Chain A
Amino acid sequence: MGSSGLTRRQALARGGAGLAGLSGASWLMACGGGGGGANKPAAVAKVAPAKGDVSYWYTTTNAKQKAWQKTYDFEAFQAANPGIRLQTTQKPLDTIARVTQTAVQAGKGPDVIITGGPALAAAYARAGNVLALDEYAARYGWDKKILPWALDAGRLEGKLYSLPMSYESMILYYNKSLFTDKGWSVPKSRADLEAIATDAMAQGIIPFAAGNAEWKPANEWIVTALFNHMAGPATVQEALSGDRPWTDPLFEEAIATMADWFKKGWFGGGVKQYFSNRFDPLYAGMAKGKYAMNLEGTWAFANLSGFFNGDTEFDWTTVPSLRDGVPNDIYALGAGGTWAINAKAKAPGAAAKYLDWKFADPALITKGVAEVDNQPTPVPLASGDFPRGIDPKVERFYIDFGQSTGKGTFGYTTWTFMPPKSDSYLAEEVEKVLVGSMKPAEYLKGLDKVFRAELRRNDVPPLPKQAS
């Protein structure tokens, strides 16, 4: 794919959404004695000393981030921890999850494991492939260093097995210069949004830069936005908890609205065009005023800034409330990939120390955000933590996000809180709704069926609770 659009977490999740290669993995598993019979109970770590060798397979999205990571992560950690020998190996972004999984199933793999998200980390935990981290959490005070919702997402049956690598949310980007020219105000409701979209279409401007030619699951971004901001975060929470079916009329309204907006050509210029649109031309088109807005995750800050270069300016806002009763200014929580410690790690204490390093210094974390567009690990951030020169739009997001979610009002990104099969179904089958070969009700019925099966198997990651 091109340079834009795909986040590391999403690539991890899709690239390995779980499963090892049919032939290779099964054979390795057979050789390695990884399978057979019922799942093993998850291993529990004893607190081990923070010394020894730690192997880590990592991936980066570009050369800038790789160089930064080498200097400020690997080498800096090594210098600060002479008793630990960190051995790093780079793996391709789109295959690291699969390669790791195959190795872990064969009883090998790195000491610090990267997975595509909490649900996949839980699958490792159930298989006994990763260690419980509660003792280390207590030792290093992770409950103070890591945002509570993000830490909780790594728990399974009360035990902590994984730590989140980054966090993100869905927001609405808009071409600020175009909005000023056209006299449009930042939308705060469904009516506002639809009025702008209608006006834009009348003037030959496509309302939303959208397309999935390079990243098919981009469909899911829009579903997530509509579920959280039209059906509402509380409704999504109830559905994810199993207390409300996905066939609920509120979800049906959300999917029907999505289909309707696509039919009107609001997303990328029409359904067929949407399936053909690539990221870079979309961002370039948005900078030129061909598209007015973009409903995308916070990873797109880095992509958009490369296309808006002085003549035009973009800005962002929270996704507006799309139904009466759904609050404005809420963020859907999105955890990036996760880190876990291999049950076979020879020096788990050293591995835990390395994980702690990832959350220890907010100034270093924000330095990465400012210098190479890193997505930060989920630590509480305040204004003073950000270096000079950081894009104020980016800083505003992270501060707002922390404050808003700290109050206990937030939504749930589907790629973080949906179990793997349901998430894949949600992202792929919605295309049938968009082309008109499936009704929203039928789509949601299928989603509910897949989700119920995963819920019964306890595959749904723990949900951070809304403030009552």
Chain B
Amino acid sequence: MAVPAQGRVADQAVVPVPARRRGNSAHLRARRRFGLLLLLPLIVVNLLVIVGPSFAAMYYSFTDWTGIGGYNWVGLRNYTDLVKDPDFRSGLLHNLEWTAIFLTVPMAMGLMGAFLLSRITRFRMLFRVAYFIPYVIAGVVSASVWENLLDPQQGLGSALGIPGLEGTTFFGDPDRALPAVAFVDIWHFWGFLLVLFLAAMQGIDRELYEAARVDGAGLWREFRDITLPGIRPTLVFAVVLVTIWSFLTFDYIYIITQGGPAGATETAATLLYKEVFEYDQAGYAAAMGLTLSLVALVVMGLYGLARKLGWRV
């Protein structure tokens, strides 16, 4: 009985369904077209400001273009020069240091802050906003504020007579300059990670924590065995972002130290900027930019590969 009934249903459905499908698909096509129409301005803008310049930069990376006037085709010379360039190597080394700092300090602060915030209900929003505010302040503003606060003569250390800080140079000392600028950037950035991680933590089933507590788990075990696995995709995504951004870092360094003193904070991106705007080597700088893009592509590729292999990231 069930079969004829099913057959009847099926039979009855045979006629109207294609009609609805035709109607649906026409409607869907119209919706898709409308969607594409809405996206068109963005695509055009991206073509103009990203794809176009990217291809142009790729092309110029094989030339000796200075940025003004004509150029000559130089093949791979810019890339071979890049390999031999001690300043570029030094810049990349600073990028690696920067990456190491940012994969540890703000990540740890963000995780810790988010975990602690996830356990409170009162004032959570207040704290979240308070920690996130530095992220929305313009980089040039926060950099200038910290430059003044850490000024050896007029900064906090001297004004308050804080031992160890009074007269201490941060941005002017080649040994301290890179961590000092990183500190300022971390102050601005870590709230972003906190909010990101907190949102991910709120998606974890509360019952898992309650069950763990019943089993006698402490805070650390809850964090290690429930929170971290629970936010793993977000965590990996944050690692990918931080790594890519660390190789492109420019703004805080350029505002505060411009790569100095004596190249102590020079990164690949600040060097690239100087190659274009000070050394008149736009072609060489294009090769440098493409090399940096390659680093980002490798990181993204590894991330994509891990997902393809079924890793839960």
Contacts and interface: CB of A to CB of B under 8 A. Distances in A.
A129 B69 contact: yes
Interface in A89-124: 98, 101, 105, 123-124
Nearest to B52: A27
B52 to A, nearest CB: 5
Interface residues of A, number: 55
A287 to B, nearest CB: 15
Interface stretch (A132-140, A161-169, A268-276, A307-315): A268-276
Interface size class of B (residues with CB under 8 A): 35 or more
Given A19-B277, A281-B153, A424-B279, 5 more contacts: A31-B52, A272-B172, A420-B280, A421-B281, A435-B174
Interface of B: 48-49, 52-54, 56-57, 59-60, 65-72, 147, 151-154, 169-174, 258-263, 272, 274, 276-282, 285-286, 289
A452 interface: no
B67 A101 contact: yes
A121 B263 CA distance: 29
A66 B262 CA distance: 36
Contact of B172 (A129, A213, A281): A213
A35 B71 contact: yes
A22 interface: yes
Contacts of A271: 172, 261
B181 to A, nearest CB: 13
A431 B153 CA distance: 21
- The DSSP consensus for interface residues of chain A is helix
A197 interface: no
Contacts of B281: 421
Interface in A258-281: 271-278, 281
A101 B277 CA distance: 11
Contacts of A127: 68-70
B169 A273 contact: yes
Contact of A30 (B56, B263, B278): B56
A223 to B, nearest CB: 15
Interface in A18-59: 18-27, 29-31, 34-40
A432 B262 contact: yes
A278 B151 contact: yes
Contact of B71 (A17, A27, A36, A420): A36
B257 to A, nearest CB: 8
Contacts of A428: 259-260, 263, 274, 278
B70 A39 contact: yes
Nearest to A437: B262
Contact of A19 (B54, B147, B282): B282
Contact of B171 (A34, A105, A275): A275
B264 to A, nearest CB: 8
A216 interface: yes
Nearest to B69: A127
Interface string A273-308: 111111001000000000000000000000000000
18 contacts: A18-B278, A19-B276, A19-B277, A21-B276, A22-B286, A26-B53, A26-B56, A26-B282, A27-B49, A34-B69, A35-B70, A39-B69, A105-B68, A123-B69, A127-B69, A128-B69, A275-B172, A281-B154
